[in-house]
Structure 1
């Protein structure tokens, strides 16, 4: 017979074994909210519950083990007085810095296995291993993320998406996982904002491009360029006349396109015939990303604008147009796996996995910063840091809403009226381009978005210039903006009256979408000059612009950017939150930074 003491010991042992599994389960059941919206993002409405079997392409961003080292390296190679200036990192060097720590990989793998998912089944991982992707049904995603997905409708774009208003992770994983998508980021391919718009019909002006170019001298800009902008106007205004690129075998300009926009090859030839005869016959390279299309029968104003003026300024620098696609329109009864439909991630995932990348990029899209979850915005911004560390200069248009569009109410439940910054314009690792209008002199255009991030802190490279501007405001707009946030735009360029060929005819187009490819074209010329001189391309531009090159910009000292029921910021001497440092003078910049 067993003694009473033996029975007690046996019971205790059995209890321990029985408790082992619940303890392990508790490890993953102890969850904490990763991100949640206080209210449904504006413009969206709940439609229905998705089928539990609807397949999601779940993308998990793991914590990058040496991200701080990457950002430090980015600043070192971008600082003109640092010993490592211009020593950009290779793809392999970047991958080594952003790879997750083995403990992170192990923890996430154990979590996946807990949910009966074989980590080896992840159908694609980034080359560094910091992003992994798996296909799971909605029911499984809801179980993993302690959430409920819904089908949401966006009436303005007539688009449906599967999203959730909050998601959670085990507490243990908060230090290992940066973001999971698709979850709470509601922007889609068609609800993003393209920063261009067709202007009201202007008086027809026939321009003989060849004679115009021959009879114009640098910086002698006809008054007609104030309302009718052509490549010859830009060459004169920004002092690129006479510069001929020589390193076209190496130097490239990339345009990132979204919103199912396609650049028309025939429209490009018509544009050259009318406005840049020396470029006739020149073609661009089309690269289709994530199911992107190239429908030559349906050209987009945005895509044509970007290509025609990016190449119109930098000719004959080769141009690559990246058409980034999204998933097909969602239908509530579809079981077809969909991608995240979150374009920056799709494009960045593609471009960062390329061995070689263009030295200059321009992108003309964005969202209100407050509509982008902080975890998502931070992850995307850090991907731009990777691209900059590899030696690419990245331009983004600042937006067309002044200090904020619509009613400017916050989405945190308080409905306060605040100036509304844009993203990715507010990311500190891109160069953001505001807008001007007119010539002799240029003035700030009233829709040029500018302001201060509420997500990202002010980077040191702009502190002196920005703090001087903030101090000049005194108490004006007190409480309406975050004075310690990353300030933008960094620079500016013309933004109205661009003559763009669309469908064989000429449209007059406005928006900071005009400004970004124009400025990027000038940067491509600067990169050509540096490469020809045997130097590294410029890479991340902001540190050298703010420190060494302010004299290379045309300072814009009049105009403002109203919005949110306020007069907005005013362009003043030095940096301002309407036109940044000003518009480029290529000749001076070439002397200063080449």
Structure 2
């Protein structure tokens, strides 16, 4: 295969191994290459020729505790608040499907606890369930907590789709998914790279001698569009480094670094929120997860906490969570028609903005929506963890969309598919369908890199590039979808 590739591209491939994994060998070129004249006009881009796979940026913030270290935590007067599925279901007015079932569902309620993933629903490389990845655990548990009746798929191409796991990720993965006959109805993605770094050897694996960031993004967007046209809803974390992007450090750069693929216009970008003015559950019958530490009050020592039961929802803040929600405007992709009105309203309301030289307000704005991104609770290999980040928010929305899909499937035999045109239309016609987040900003990329120089956007009424349209009121969304389908004579 290497011999044929060398001949095809008129170049030479060399074998490489990593210093920490000498058993794994990959082949890359170290010079120029040529594309045959016969196919040159048909080629959009090339991938996998000259750069090397490196670790992706995963959007989560973790804190762990176990039964064994509760006493030590008490002695250190540490507090751990948790948001469990019961709060999310109550706060966002989500139907409790364990009690009510779904309008259309083929899974019996008796089979939902500890249901293993079907082997036919596990795709990709390095999917050893005996040695699971923590990031995958938190995503699956957040989705399952919202809709335990849904069947979960696990798609892991890690650094690519080559047999050894190497290679570029976004384009190749989505291209591969589009070639499959059967796919899940909802996809959740919790990682990303800066748009500006996709084809410069920063994290991507596309060749700088032929391609550019813009070409790569344009071609990958087409694959996301194809996936959406198949009726699949795609939810992607907006990032945990504010408007600056994780390519930034001390807010000294003169432009923002928006994330990809969350800035793609054919998927739904999800930002993060937090609760302030927190209230706790004082019920005597609490889930085991609620036995954690709360802060000391007055002269009273730290005690075991109750789960968070309520609060006021605002954009995440570095002073409280250590990060801000990714948001802003794509550097390469123009603004889709479905959000133009919402974006224009934002700029009419908010006169004080970052310097226009730092971003292009006429390009794709993100996030589209938001959800809780702090105090998430999950269990990993018998150990309890709390975590936060937009990596929590996207799978929460994925679980919600799987419920909304069931209502659409019952009446139309179709999924909701690409969500954004519906969501922006819904925000205009049903303001109660969203919890409008009006407090917070995304100026600081990280608590460690928060200075007076940091620029970003402010949350306000309606859509904003911090929390999007807001968080969901699922009860109202279901009513709206039913009304909409009735108008279209589906009922």
Q: TM-score, normalised by structure 1?
A: 0.60
Contact 2:245/2:259, CA 8 A, preserved across alignment:
no
The answer to whether the aligner puts 1:247 opposite 2:111 as a matched pair is no
Contact 2:245/2:258, CA 8 A, preserved across alignment:
no
The answer to whether the aligner puts 1:536 opposite 2:414 as a matched pair is yes
C-alpha distance after superposition, 1:497-521 (max 9, x if no partner) = 1111011011111111100010010
Contact 2:187/2:234, CA 8 A, preserved across alignment:
yes
Contact 1:362/1:520, CA 8 A, preserved across alignment:
yes
Cα separation, partners in 2 of 1:502 and 1:281, compared to 1, 3 Å? closer
The answer to whether the aligner puts 1:464 opposite 2:321 as a matched pair is no
Moved more, 276-285 or 527-536: 276-285
1:198 aligned counterpart, secondary structure: strand
Cα separation, partners in 2 of 1:515 and 1:184, compared to 1, 3 Å? farther
Q: How many residues align?
A: 398
What does residue 106 of structure 1 align with? Answer: none
Contact 1:492/1:582, CA 8 A, preserved across alignment:
yes
Q: CA deviation at 1:343?
A: 2.6
Q: CA deviation at 1:444?
A: 0.5
Contact 2:272/2:325, CA 8 A, preserved across alignment:
yes
Q: CA deviation at 1:167?
A: 6.0
Cα separation, partners in 2 of 1:513 and 1:386, compared to 1, 3 Å? same
Cα separation, partners in 2 of 1:167 and 1:480, compared to 1, 3 Å? farther
What is the aligned counterpart of 1:562 among 433, 443, 452?
443
What is the aligned counterpart of 1:350 among 166, 172, 176?
176
What does residue 573 of structure 1 align with? Answer: 461
Q: CA deviation at 1:339?
A: 6.8
Contact 1:202/1:508, CA 8 A, preserved across alignment:
no
Q: TM-score, normalised by structure 2?
A: 0.72
Contact 1:558/1:571, CA 8 A, preserved across alignment:
yes
Partners in 2 of 1:538 and 1:524 — Cα distance?
9
C-alpha distance after superposition, 1:101-131 (max 9, x if no partner) = xxxxxxxxxxxxxxxxxxxxxxxxxxxxxxx
Partners in 2 of 1:577 and 1:337 — Cα distance?
39
Contact 2:441/2:457, CA 8 A, preserved across alignment:
yes
Larger Rg: 1
Q: CA deviation at 1:201?
A: 5.9
What does residue 229 of structure 1 align with? Answer: 83
The answer to whether the aligner puts 1:299 opposite 2:132 as a matched pair is yes
How much is the aligned-residue C-alpha RMSD, in angstroms?
Answer: 3.5
C-alpha distance after superposition, 1:47-103 (max 9, x if no partner) = xxxxxxxx65xxxxxxxxxxxxxxxxxxxxxxxxxxxxxxxxxxxxxxxxxxxxxxx
1:441 aligned counterpart, secondary structure: strand
What does residue 361 of structure 1 align with? Answer: 187
C-alpha distance after superposition, 1:214-240 (max 9, x if no partner) = xxxxxxxxxxxx941111011011111
Q: CA deviation at 1:376?
A: 2.1
What does residue 146 of structure 2 align with? Answer: 313
Cα separation, partners in 2 of 1:407 and 1:292, compared to 1, 3 Å? closer
1:508 aligned counterpart, secondary structure: strand
The answer to whether the aligner puts 1:519 opposite 2:397 as a matched pair is yes
2:272 aligned counterpart, secondary structure: strand
The answer to whether the aligner puts 1:420 opposite 2:298 as a matched pair is no
Moved more, 395-404 or 342-351: 342-351
C-alpha distance after superposition, 1:128-176 (max 9, x if no partner) = xxxxxxx745x446526xx998969899xxx997466976646775532
Q: CA deviation at 1:562?
A: 1.9
The answer to whether the aligner puts 1:590 opposite 2:478 as a matched pair is yes
Partners in 2 of 1:489 and 1:355 — Cα distance?
30
Partners in 2 of 1:278 and 1:339 — Cα distance?
33
Q: List alignment gaps of at least 5 residues for structure 1.
A: 1-54, 57-134, 207-225, 251-275, 329-335, 410-414
Contact 1:455/1:485, CA 8 A, preserved across alignment:
yes
Contact 1:294/1:323, CA 8 A, preserved across alignment:
no
Q: CA deviation at 1:344?
A: 2.7
Partners in 1 of 2:29 and 2:459 — Cα distance?
40
What is the aligned counterpart of 2:10 among 121, 138, 143?
143
Indicate the structure whose relative CO is greater, using CA pairs within 8 Å and at least 6 residues apart. 2
